[in-house]
Each structure stands twice: as structure tokens, then as C-alpha cells.
Amino acid sequence: MLLGIYAVQGAKTDKPFTIVIDAGHGGRDPGAMGKLVREKDINLAIALRLGARIEKGMPNVRVLYTRKTDIFLPLQDRANFVNENAADLFICIHTNAAENTSVHGVETFTLGLNKLESNLDVAMRENSVILLEDNYEANYQGFDPNSVESYIMFEFMQDQYIDKSLSFATLAQKSMSGKCKRNNRGVRQAAFWVLHKSACPSVLIEVGFVSNQQEEKFLASDSGRDAMAGAIYDAVVEYKKDIDKKNGVAVAAPSKPVQTEKQQVSSSEKNTGIVYKIQIAAVKKELSSKDPALRGLKNVKYYKEGGFYKYTYGEEDSFSEIEQLRKSIRSKFPEAFVIAFKDGKKISVSEARALEKK
């Protein structure tokens, strides 16, 4: 286990729901600087309060912290810790700043490339911490957090956890803006390295602006930190209830039909049986068949889900065959993964494999 990374386990279960809480920045990296307080201190205070509430109110949930003290941790180490512990939810706590001191409010980011300059600025600022790390050029494969060109890699990147990430982000925004009476700046997408490398539903919450005098005072106070932690905790509770409900319903009832373009429903989906496909991309806007993101593949299809065009390649009724196909395109699409349908309805791959064996 990495130095400075902590785990606290509640009541033991076979597969505890695991939440990793990440207090952004730390140690020699102070983050945004206010007149009264530093970002790293706000982040840690809220992270510890949030974790304590979860430990007390949700005893069957395992809580892990990337840091509980004022230490420096590389971004990749944080993401590695998430993956090594098979986290079910990753919550990064950060604090914002802006040149315009009137700007205020809360916003929650999920992974994605939004070309709005304000979103890119936030991602660049948060990613720039890697420049403080030793040997960062090698560790981050040449990624330059200050170069716009480096962010092109995120444009066609897919995230199989995007729907759950957006679900929690929406709950967090509603809770923080409502219960803490914060200005709701909305759910946004940006190219954060730590979210990109974390294999679970992940969000980065900006709890306010230290550059705004009133908001800095709120975030510097114990009452403000308690309120923010409480609001995020309430979102965690609602999210977990929703996950539990969906997991329970999945066994007893068929999955909700996927909204697809009628002309693109394949013949095998229309017939009874299991169909496996490889998802290669998820984007907000429909792509041209000649788009470089599709890299020359033929017979690529898409379905619409959660506001995304999700592009698929291949179609097999055997998991072993679709897995072979996935491996054959792995060099071009390293993040591609298998999805499954039954009678045109999307189901989990584990459910499909169980049905396939019958």
C-alpha cells in the first residue's frame, strides 16, 4: 500500500461497496490559494468529514482515503489505489479559483472532453500537479497538462462508467446547491487525468471558489465544511439506494430497452437470443462513417443511451468469439469492452453469459 493512503472498513461483507475519497493536492502542492486558506486544507477537511459520515451512517460500505494528512501524492498513485481496491465510486474533492472574484458556486465534473475554454482551464490547472512529480514525462507517456494538443486524446475516449458517474454528479450538484444554498454551476465534463485512469464511476467535485471572498469564508469555517460534507454524503446515500434498487430489479425484471435508431437495429437483435458487441466509443455528437475516431472499421453501428452516441463493432452470439474479436482490435482500441443485448434490450455481460450457458 502506498504511503499516505488509508482504508477504513465497516461491517464485513463478501463484496463491500467501496468508496475512495480523494482530497485533492497536498504537501508541496497547495492547490488554489485564497487570502484565508489553501485549497489542500479545505479539500482534506471536507474529505475527512465525508468519510466519517459514511463510516457512521453506512456501516456496510468500505471507505478508503488517498490521504488523511498533509502529504503529496502523484495523480497516477491515486488512480492506481482506486483500481487496486476495486472501488465502486471515486470522489475527488477540490476547490476552485478564478481571476474574476465574483465567480462563485459548486460544480461537479465527470470524465470527457468539453471544448468550453472554462472547462479546459479547470482540467489544465488540476492536471498541472504532475509537473511537480519526479520523472513525470515517462510516467504520463508524454502528456503535457499545459498543452491543448495533449487533450485531443480525450476527445474520442470512451468511459464505460459515464452513466453512473453522471448519475452521482447530478445528485451531488442537487444536494450541494439545495442544502448548502450554493450557486449551482452544473454537471460538466473535462479531461482530468485522475478520472481517466480510474476504473469505476468517478467524479471531481469543486466545492467553491477561494477567490470569492464570501465563499472562501464559508469554506474556511467548520460549519461550511460540515455542510458541504453532509450534502455530498446525502448524495452518496441516494446513489447507493439507486444502485441497490437497480441491482435488485435486474434479477426479477427485464432491463429497460435501449433507445436506438430504428434503421440501425441489427437482424440478430430482432431475433430471440443473446448478442454480444464491442463498444469502441461514446460521444455526444454523431460521427461520420469516415471519422478518424472509427479508424477504418467497417460495419460500425451505434445506439443512443444517456445522451451519448455509443459506437459498437462486431456482433456475435458467443462470448468467446466476441472476446477474440475484441483482442484483435485491442492495439487500436485499448479501452474497448464487450456489451450484451437480449431481444434488443441491453443487459449485463454476466447475465448474458449465464443465459448463454443454459
Domain residue spans of the chain: 6-248, 262-357
Looking at residue 145, its pLDDT comes to: 52
Is 257 a residue whose pLDDT tops 90?
A: no
Range with top average pLDDT, 98-107, 150-159, 197-206: 98-107
Query: Which of 81-90, 212-221, 252-261 is the least confident region?
Result: 252-261
Looking at residue 184, its pLDDT comes to: 96
Is 15 a residue whose pLDDT tops 90?
A: no
Q: Specify whether the CB–CB gap between 80 and 13 falls below 8 A.
A: no
Is 20 a residue whose pLDDT tops 90?
A: yes
46 or 271, which is more confident:
46
250 or 298, which is more confident:
298
The CATH class of 6-248 is alpha beta
221 or 10, which is more confident:
221
Is 351 a residue whose pLDDT tops 90?
A: no
Round to whole Å and give the CA distance between 314 and 138: 35
Categorise residue 277: left if φ over 0, alpha if ψ from -120 to 50, beta otherwise: beta
Taking all residues of the chain, what is their mean pLDDT, rounded to a whole number? 79
DSSP state of 330: T
Q: Where are the alpha helices (DSSP H) in the chain?
A: 39-57, 75-84, 117-127, 136-139, 162-179, 193-196, 213-220, 222-252, 267-270, 319-328, 349-357
Looking at residue 141, its pLDDT comes to: 55
Q: What is the mean pLDDT of residues 281-285?
A: 76
Homologous superfamily of domain range 262-357: Sporulation related repeat (3.30.70.1070)
Looking at residue 77, its pLDDT comes to: 87
Looking at residue 342, its pLDDT comes to: 87
Percent of the chain with pLDDT over 90: 40
177 or 258, which is more confident:
177
End-to-end CA distance of the chain: 42
Round to whole Å and give the CA distance between 160 and 346: 14
Residue-wise pLDDT tens digits, 116-155: 444 556 566 665 566 566 665 556 555 665 555 554 455 4
Looking at residue 294, its pLDDT comes to: 72
Residue 23: band (very low, low, confident or very high) from pLDDT cuts 50, 70, 90: very high
Query: Which of 105-119, 200-214, 329-343 is the least confident region?
Result: 105-119
Query: Which of 10-19, 83-92, 117-126, 311-320 is the least confident region?
Result: 117-126
Q: Specify whether the CB–CB gap between 74 and 138 falls below 8 A.
A: no
